[in-house]
Structure 1
Amino acid sequence: MSPDDLWSIGQLAERAGVTVKTVRFYSDRGLLPEAARSGGGHRRYGPDALDRLRLIRSLRTLDLPVPDVGRVLDQEDDLEDLIAGQLREVTSRLAALRWREAALRLLADCTVRERAERLRLIGTVTFPPGTAAIARFWRNWLPARLPSKVATGIIDRAVPAPPDDPTPAQVLAFARLQEFVTGPCFVPGPRAGTEHGVPEVHAPEVQVPGVQVPEVHAPGKGYRPAVLYAGLPEAFELAAAELRAGRAPHGGEALDCFAAVHAAALGRRDTADFRRGLHRMLAAEARIDRYWQLTAEIETPPPGPPEPTPGAADNWLRAALGATV
């Protein structure tokens, strides 16, 4: 190109609709190469610089960092991957803002006494919240030697996913759940065998009012927790169907599956005598019903009916067992 076909920095800025300072900024960072220099040492740009400058502005409008813009222009990074990364970041920011909004509404719609307690709870939660503490609770609660695949499946079903657009009530429930799983109230008690060989759990001597401690997993002779936890999801799914239909606890396929899984885990036959012993063991077993109550509140905002949680399914099956023995 002849010097007459080149533009000064001011001419390029005018054609692009930006300031000279903007053009100089991108030129100094190597994003906008100059085509030549004038006799006085002034920068000169070709028409292709206008297209490049417009592309830079588009990428910056998407909040892409300047170093990333440079790599895209030099074809070192794939634009599609960078856009996907920015999209994930924006989605996370929006979720955080929705959680902040719901938390503020929670604080605005309460009494002065409630506000102090809610502020304390909200202070324990990040926005958007994570589930690491809840997953850690389950890893500590489950038997130590449970196969990784089985344990992961249980944790995936048991840990509630924080909603992207929560209600104030869901924010409060999540904060309470976070406090619940990190509290110092899960003190295990001893295990013993019943006359039917079914392990049973006794509550510890020290308890926190209103909070039930989790079951202690200290397998007795012949007890195979992997068999129990691999089979319980099927029983819970069958019970969940009964709960959705609004049926009262009763004998049938769901209960048969539930009893058979426990029998297989203990190396026993599923007999009437076994079920009576199983009923006594489960009746004495410590519970975490509060966990499942809060989980249901997180997963199902009002006014919709709550989706059955594994805890609700377990309660239905225990009640069905009691009704039949």
Structure 2
Amino acid sequence: MNGDDDLYGIGELARLTGLSVRTIRFYSDSGLLPPTERTHAGYRMYDIHALTRLRFVRTLRELGVDLPTVHRVLSREVGIPELAAEHAEALDVQIRTLRLRRSVLRAVAKRGSSPKELEMVHELARMTEEERQAILDDFWGEVDADLPESDTAAWMRKVRADLPDDPTPEQVEAWIEFVELVRDPDFRAKIRSMAVANARMTEEGDDSTVVSEAWQTAYEQALTKVTEAIAAGETPESSTGRRIVADLRAALAAALGRDDDAEFAIWLGRLYDTFADDRAERYWTLLGVINSWPEYPSPKPARDWLTAATRAGDWTSGTQMLEIPEARD
């Protein structure tokens, strides 16, 4: 074993630390590892304290600390706790950046993106919170332009797309699809038609809040019955299907204070046609993924069953009904 007075050449330091001779010489030349003394032939020699110092430098470098900072640590300009905190914060930023890049690359690989789309995906993933909100504001600005403000519209405007700093690949994919959806002119036109229909009902004397609440209550009750019917093996064309559709129609008519007659069926059918679009549900599903909302069972199977039952009964010209989403925490 070497004593405290033993001296080591660069080759011996390399053997003891695993560093290359070239690296140790560079550290010595840069002042990180001054030699303890030199031989008559000019060779640099180092004592046990220099060996300890070199091992410390190696540790800092392996942790990613740059050379200027290593100099500051060795000269006691910065303490180890302070260095550790600063470097850990810097690493957090690097890790988030790397994870974001990984998520973007996985999304691109899954989508089979072109070079142009790669650039688009990368830019979307790097957007700030304000830039993401601007996309939503632009969407709702077009949808609600020149229409009276409703409670539902006001609530929908408040729901943000809060993509986290460290998103999962699924959240990146959901965000990209969400932006494509709200920028789709056809989807914008469809949601615009829904907003116009709500405004028109209000102008004609209908209370849009009452309509929404009545619709939601009757629709949820119908879907509950449909779920039970599906579990029992009932088909939409069965007597159970006809009864569920009839009950739904009667409940809506009673809630709205209207007669359950042919005129009401025509009005209801037109309303269904206006609000029928699976993309409306997709909007909220994607927001749920982006915002890490708890998953909930999709009502689509039950809704499709109810749609088929409606068509079988031929009681409206509509295709399906739009669920009005409830506020989430």
Question: Rg: which structure is higher?
Answer: 2
TM-score by length of 2: 0.48
